[in-house]
Amino acid sequence: MYFKVGKVGTKIILITLGILFFAIGSTTLISGYIFSREYTDVLKSKLSIVGESLKSQLDRVLAFGIPLRELVGFEEQCQEIINRYKEISYAMVVDKNGEILFHNDPSNHHKIVTCLTALQAVKKDKETIQVCPDEGGKYLEFIHPIFDGNGEHIGAIRVGFPLNIITEKTKQLVFYSVGVALVFFALAVLLLVLGLSTWITKPLMRLLTVIQEIREKGTNFTRRVEIKSKDEIGQLASAFDKMMEDLQRTTVSKDYVDNIIESMMDALIVVDPDGKIQTVNKATCDLLGYPPNEMIGKSIDAILPTPGYLDEQGEIENFEASLKRKEGGTIPVLLSSSVMRDKSGNIEWIVCTARDITERKQAEETLRESEDRYRDLVECSQYLILTHNLEGQVLSINHGGATYLGYEPKDFLKKNIRDLLPHGVKDEFGTYLDTIRKQGSAKGLMLVQTATGERRVWEYDNTLRTEGVTMPIVRSISHDITERLQAEKAVRRLSQENAIMAEIGRIISSTLNIQEVYGRFAAEVGKLISFDRISVSTVNPDGRSVTIAYVWGAEVPDRKQGDILSSTGSLYEEIRAKRSGILIQVEDEEELAKSYSRLLSNFRAGFRSMISVPLISKDQLIGILNFRSFKSKNYRESDLGLTEKVGNQIAGAIANAQLFMERVQAEEERTALQEQLRQSQKMEAIGQLAGGVAHDFNNLLTVIQGYCDLILKDLDEKSRFFEDMTEIHKASERAALLTRQLLAFSRKQVLQPKVLDLNKVVLNMEKMLRRMIGEDIELATVLEKSLGRVKADPGQIEQVILNLAINARDAMSNGGKLMLETSNTQLDEHYAQSHVSVIPGRYIRLSVSDTGMGMSPEIRERIFEPFFTTKEKGKGTGLGLSTVYGIVKQSGGNIWVYSEPGQGTTFKIYLPTIEEGTTNPFVSTLVLPQSLQGSETILLVEDENAVRRLASTILQNNGYKVLEAANGEEALHMVHGIPPQSIHLMLTDVVMPRMSGRQLADRVESWQPTMKVLYMSGYTDNAIVHHGVLDPGTAYIQKPFTPDTLVSKIREVLDNS
């Protein structure tokens, strides 16, 4: 801030302050006066309001008729008014005599008003406003007269305030006004000072400073005031600056020249004609190490390289010379000199300039050393660094590169690059040159022939230079990468091997299907090693033979997949001994025959290169991996190692797969056996059920049939009941047939087995079968000539063949072929293990095959179940195959069915072979009785009452005496009551509660030793039969029986001795 007392700013401020003081003073006085008047009016107005208010309240109360003096507590109203209006100093009610009745200050009650002016006013009946002098000062008061209810003046209300309150208030106002004015005054002064300083004093001081500076320094016209304002001061400064610009433009000062000389970078030396130095600049002193004044007057020869140097040289320009420094030594400079002459041509001054070139000299030296290093680097480099023109002619080459290729550099300069390329790739050089011309650069690989004829691969990176040269040249840098390429190739192959090994490992671990492993393995290994045939032979468990497990590629006549070869004399023995692979590459068959005769078949198939490597798992040779190639010498020793690694990789997989297959096979066999067992148990259970039903059913049928026969015998054929009874009888016969079939299935029927030749059975049935199956079906029999014998019930076997033929016929509704085959066969332990209920041994196999529709596995599983049929309703009972099953099983045989949908069906029946001679099953040995009547005594034992009554009736009708017993105990009791030998025959049921028929017979035998026994039953059990075969000498009649059958059987037993 530029502000000085006594200056322009001070004067302005003083004037301004004076004006302000006057304004504030006058304003304060006027406002004080006005305020005093107004405030007085306000107070008067308040006095009037207060007085009116009190008067109004007083009037209201007085209206109740209460005398003024008897009012209570009106001073509270006065006090309340005083509290509300702070300026009011008193409010009172006085009577007409001036006695104070109520006062805001109760201590004044009953006092007499002392102010005479007031006293006079109270006595008036008019409102009065007046000044009342009091002891404490003057008061302005308002007096309201009071009237009673009759209008009589009774007193007045006085309210007033001290007049000095107006003076005090006015003083306060003036005081505050002046205070506020002073604050504003101070702010105004501050702003004024700031404004003066910024806009007037400061610019003027700056102008003054510049003018004083110019005055003191003379010709320094570069100074400017530079005030931007547009007021008068700004205009003054602008005019001053303009004037200074004009002066600067038209005046050259000594300082100006001195400054130029002093600011020169080059040394300047002015010499008089006597060689004395007259002037030097700062650069000269700095260059030569002299103080500024020491050089003045010295001879120029003191710094020149040789005395008289300037005289010798005369005027020179940029001449390299060395100047002497004060401390000794020289400094290189570019020296120039010129001569200044007077108007007469005499030398007036010689002006010399010298430029320090020390750095330039150092740079030149550095450059030279650098070039030497680079030249050495290039010349000695093993890289081939050369230039050639666009025709390929070598222009330059480094020594190292030329030597590396076997050439002297000078010889190389005569060559064209094309000459270095071997035949076959020379043409590519033209392409290279085209690339260089078009793109300005080329990089790649180049096959180069050295001076010794060796071919090397060079990698080049060449660029074309066209600028700064007279003709385009190609800059070439290349290096030999032959070894690197070979190493990379080796690495790639190793990497590929590893990848393929890993892939083979992945294949092996991804599947246990060995054939899939072989196939994918062959595909992968083909990427590593070439072959025309690959095969895998696995060692069989006997260790003496191998199986060709896998073959891919060209065929060898006696080496096909699946062939089993003896290991004797084969490669296997040599490989097992060596436990390593064999590489054989021969061209001569005889030579091969000497060592490996077993490989001749390979040789004759055209293979000239062969590798066989062992497959070893867990230290056991499990097979051989063979590679065969038609090419001669296709393999190297390294390939042998590689294939051995491959063999090791796959051997484990083969072993695992073999183990897996064995386990799978075992698991399948176990599952099949379980299924057979389940099926067998199911059939057994169904058989038990069917047998039980048949037993009860037979009893019922016996009764129905028996009574039917009895009725029919007595019934006239013309009777209207005869036909009905006949139908009942037929139905019972059909029911009996079904029951027999059920018994057959449940293996509860009684067989009468004989030694049979199945061929004869088949032949005897052939004619009947042809008729039965019809003309659309061809019947063929294939019977083994020396067929063994079986022991079976011939009738039941016929039933088996018949039922199977019927089943085949129904399966070939559109015709086909039915084939019956017989053969001897041996079922070994292995077969027995895989087939439930099969006992190892010799069997006769009877096969019944058709070419019909076949059946699904679901149907096949249930085909032997009773009442299961796929035929239309009414066309089959569902008991045909069940009967077959029961008969075969009861005959000690087995039956298996093989069938697929659309592929026909084959039933194979195995019956054990026996060595006994055959009997003619079709010659009856029974002696039929002549008469069915009799008179013997028969003990009839039957727990079923109906059957017992029927049998008794039949027997009695035919003349027999019948003793009836409902069970064994009753029979025993009865027998013991009869003399011995008095009972001729005991007809007994076999199956009875508590005591079977057989047990009863045994107990009775001692008492009635001559008594014959005829058993009757719906089905048999072990009481009289073993596996369905009657004990020898046992007489038996099957329920249900007809009356004729019974009496015939009774007669037969009685008559046979």
Partner 1 sequence: MLWIVLFFFFLISVPMVSSSPKYKILHVMSYHLPWEWNEDQLRGFKDALKGLDIDYKVFQMDTKRKSTEEWKNRVGKEARDLIKTWKPDLVYTNDDNAQQYVGKYYVNQSLPFVFSGVNADPQEYGFWGSKNITGILEQEHSIETLKFLKEIVPKVSRIAVIVDDDPTWGGVIKRIKERAAIHLPGIEFVSFDAVHTFKEYQERVREYQKKVDALGLLGIHTFKDGKGENVPWQEVLGWTAMNSQLPDFSFWKDRVPYGTLCVVYVSGYEQGLAAGKIARGILAEGKSPSSFPMVPTIKGQPIISLARAKNLGVEVKTKILLAAKVVEKYEWEK
Q: In 3-state terms, what secondary structure has residue 99?
A: strand
Task: Report the distance separating Cα 652 and Cα 620, nearest Å.
Answer: 10
CB of 155 vs partner 1, minimal distance in Å: 15
Closest CA to 517 of 548, 546, 550: 550
Cβ atoms of 100 and 108 closer than 8 Å: yes
For partner 1, the closer of residues 101 and 210 by Cβ is 101
CB of 59 vs partner 1, minimal distance in Å: 11
Compute the Cα dihedral for 816, 822, 827, 832 and give only its sign.
positive
Whose tokens are 């006090």? That residue is 79
CB of 65 vs partner 1, minimal distance in Å: 7
For partner 1, the closer of residues 68 and 650 by Cβ is 68
For partner 1, the closer of residues 74 and 309 by Cβ is 74
For partner 1, the closer of residues 53 and 170 by Cβ is 53
Task: Report the distance separating Cα 873 and Cα 316, nearest Å.
Answer: 144
For partner 1, the closer of residues 74 and 521 by Cβ is 74
CB of 121 vs partner 1, minimal distance in Å: 24
CB of 63 vs partner 1, minimal distance in Å: 9
For partner 1, the closer of residues 91 and 808 by Cβ is 91
As given in the structure block, the two tokens for residue 973 are 């009791």
Which residues, 6 or more positions from 982, have their beta carbon under 8 angstroms from its beta carbon? 937, 1008
Distances (CA, A) of 648 to 29, 561, 571, 614: 128, 21, 18, 8
CB of 144 vs partner 1, minimal distance in Å: 17
For partner 1, the closer of residues 102 and 960 by Cβ is 102
Task: Report the distance separating Cα 596 and Cα 590, nearest Å.
Answer: 10
As given in the structure block, the two tokens for residue 505 are 């490992």
Q: Residue 523: enclosing H or E segment and its boundaries?
A: helix 514-525
For partner 1, the closer of residues 55 and 948 by Cβ is 55
Strand partners, 271: 277, 350
CB of 107 vs partner 1, minimal distance in Å: 19
For partner 1, the closer of residues 85 and 309 by Cβ is 85
- β-pair type (330-341, 394-397): unpaired
As given in the structure block, the two tokens for residue 792 are 């079976």
Which residues, 6 or more positions from 877, have their beta carbon under 8 angstroms from its beta carbon? 738, 741, 867, 869
For partner 1, the closer of residues 155 and 794 by Cβ is 155
For partner 1, the closer of residues 71 and 285 by Cβ is 71
For partner 1, the closer of residues 77 and 882 by Cβ is 77
Helix axes 637-714, 722-745, angle to 10 degrees: 150
CB of 74 vs partner 1, minimal distance in Å: 5
CB of 150 vs partner 1, minimal distance in Å: 17
CB of 149 vs partner 1, minimal distance in Å: 12
- Identity of the amino acid at 357: I
For partner 1, the closer of residues 84 and 126 by Cβ is 84
CB of 60 vs partner 1, minimal distance in Å: 6
Q: In what order do the strands lie in the sheet with 937-941?
A: 961-965, 937-941, 985-989, 1012-1017, 1035-1038
CB of 102 vs partner 1, minimal distance in Å: 9
Closest CA to 1041 of 944, 930, 943, 954: 954
For residue 424, the Cα-to-chain-centroid distance in whole angstroms is: 54
Compute the Cα dihedral for 922, 923, 926, 930 and give only its sign.
positive
b/e 913-947 (16+ beta carbons within 10 angstroms → b):
bbeeeebebeeeeeeebeebebebbbbbbbbbeeb
Report the interface residues with partner 1, using CB under 8 A: 57, 60-61, 64-65, 71-74, 76-77
Beta carbons within 10 angstroms of residue 1010's beta carbon: 11
Where does 540-608 show beta strands of DSSP type E? 545-553, 564-566, 582-585
For partner 1, the closer of residues 53 and 883 by Cβ is 53
Whose tokens are 């003076």? That residue is 167
Task: Report the distance separating Cα 400 and Cα 725, nearest Å.
Answer: 133
Cβ atoms of 933 and 958 closer than 8 Å: yes
For partner 1, the closer of residues 77 and 732 by Cβ is 77
Task: Report the distance separating Cα 638 and Cα 651, nearest Å.
Answer: 20
Task: Report the distance separating Cα 154 and Cα 122, nearest Å.
Answer: 10
Cβ atoms of 849 and 818 closer than 8 Å: yes
Which residues, 6 or more positions from 234, have their beta carbon under 8 angstroms from its beta carbon? 203, 227, 228
CB of 93 vs partner 1, minimal distance in Å: 11
CB of 64 vs partner 1, minimal distance in Å: 6
Q: In what order do the strands lie in the sheet with 620-629?
A: 564-566, 545-553, 533-539, 620-629, 609-617, 582-585
CB of 76 vs partner 1, minimal distance in Å: 6
For residue 5, the Cα-to-chain-centroid distance in whole angstroms is: 92
b/e 721-759 (16+ beta carbons within 10 angstroms → b):
eeeebeebbeebbebbebbbbbbbbbbbbbbebbbbbbb
CB of 72 vs partner 1, minimal distance in Å: 4
Closest CA to 439 of 450, 431, 429: 431
For partner 1, the closer of residues 71 and 351 by Cβ is 71
For partner 1, the closer of residues 156 and 1016 by Cβ is 156
CB of 53 vs partner 1, minimal distance in Å: 11
Which residues, 6 or more positions from 316, have their beta carbon under 8 angstroms from its beta carbon? 335, 336, 337
CA dihedral angle for residue 616, residue 622, residue 627, residue 628, rounded to 10 degrees: 140
For partner 1, the closer of residues 105 and 428 by Cβ is 105
CB of 105 vs partner 1, minimal distance in Å: 17
